[in-house]
A = this chain, B = another copy of it.
Amino acid sequence: MNIPQSDFPRVVIIGGGFAGINFARKIANKKVQVVLIDKRNYHTFQPLLYQVSSAGLEPDSIAYPLRKILKNHKNTFFRLAEVESIDSEKSELKTSIGNIGYDYLVIATGTKTNYFGNKSIEEYGMPMKKVPQALNIRSLILQNFEQAAITDDKEVRKALLNFVIVGGGPTGVELAGAIAELKNHILPRDYRDLIPEDMQIYLLEGAARVLPTMSEHASKKATKFLSKLGVLVHCNTFVKNYDGRKVQTNLSLELQSETLIWAAGVTGNPVNGLQADVLVDRANRYKVNEYNQVEGYNNIFALGDISLMQTDGYPKGHPQVAQPAIQQGELLGKNLMKLIGGKPMKKFKYKDKGSMATVGRNKAVVDLKHFRFAGFFAWFVWMFVHLMALVGFRNRVIVFFNWGYNYINFDKAARLIIRPFKKLNQ
């Protein structure tokens, strides 16, 4: 690993997501040695991944080099590595590039796609949790368009132009809206050899309404916005099987589709090695106390999506979104320095800033604590909040410009097939 010894205690962070980077920033200039480990060399702004999939943004503008987050701080190190296991007896990690000891360990590994054991979806479905996956979806959509343009077979064309999105949470809703905009604005101009009506976007949701974690008002509005865009929404619908062409559901609904995008669930992404009983079964999250300490350990913490803090108002833990991760990361930055200094730590209290989702141009839904609204103003708020949450001035400006350009021109211009995607069954 080649990390020098230091007089300060060593804090090792696994994962450069929202939790990891907000924690790292807080302690980077303190009297600790910081080692941030991630499998990738960049932070991904997951809320906008769907815009990479739908050709609205390039990946570089929603990602940020992790080394830039630590730059200018002595005693901070980034290592590109995969963590294999934790040895809490020895206070040591085993990684793909060697072992490393820690004084304090912060696990911020987030979640991974959950297929709920359905092998057929795992094999043929397209997940969208990472930048390369988002680029694969972009390539597949564009490749399907090109293939549809040259085929004489109506059935084949239909399957190429049917896009099935599974999961009606914010990700699925936003992606469905964005793909519908490709149909409504890009196909008529740039693919005049296709008939836009041949293209269909299906959004399948297992619950009784889309955006099930938001208010009923938001669900209703989102459903209305989606159908205005031409998205076919099916609630109470599960996918039972997908062979790369035919989507079979729990209902009589069967769809022919070359593209099934899986946005229906995540599960924790824990690291091997801690006592099994600190993980909560189905969610795969580490049980933590109100200081984010993993149950039974003094010097091991879990932050964000991978942590399960059961408190008043949140008996099932906090929602697995950016805000709890950011807030926990920032608080632990302060608390850890208190712990090291022998002072009492402060309990975490989640400030719910609300939730939101956008459904194409001029349309979004926002739920605040005492107030909910939808439409143009919600869309404006959605954009502002996401722009401000992006990491780095450069990214903000480039995303802002792209949005303005796309809005004025009804365009989505990041349309390069740079990772030609081969489906397994082809």
Contact = CB atoms under 8 A, between A and B. Distances in A.
Interface of A: 1-2, 40-42, 58-61, 63, 65, 67-68, 70-72, 74, 77, 79-80, 97-98, 131-132, 135, 142-143, 146, 149-152, 189-193, 392-394, 397-398, 401-402, 405, 413-419
Given A2-B149, A58-B60, A401-B401, A68 B418 contact: no
A83 to B, nearest CB: 14
Nearest to A67: B190
A132 B416 CA distance: 11
A415 B41 contact: yes
A98 B150 CA distance: 9
Contacts of A131: 416, 418
A416 B392 CA distance: 14
A2 B98 contact: no
Contacts of A74: 192
**A interface, over-half SS:** mixed
Contacts of A60: 58, 413-414, 416
A59 B417 CA distance: 11
A394 B398 contact: no
A63 B393 CA distance: 23
Nearest to A73: B192
11 contacts: A42-B417, A58-B58, A63-B416, A65-B190, A77-B193, A79-B146, A131-B416, A132-B419, A393-B405, A394-B405, A398-B401
Contact of A71 (B97, B143, B190): B190
Contact of A415 (B42, B79, B150): B42
| Ranked 10 nearest A-B pairs via Cβ | A58-B60, A67-B190, A65-B415, A80-B146, A60-B414, A42-B416, A71-B190, A71-B189, A2-B150, A58-B58
Contacts of A41: 142, 146, 415-417
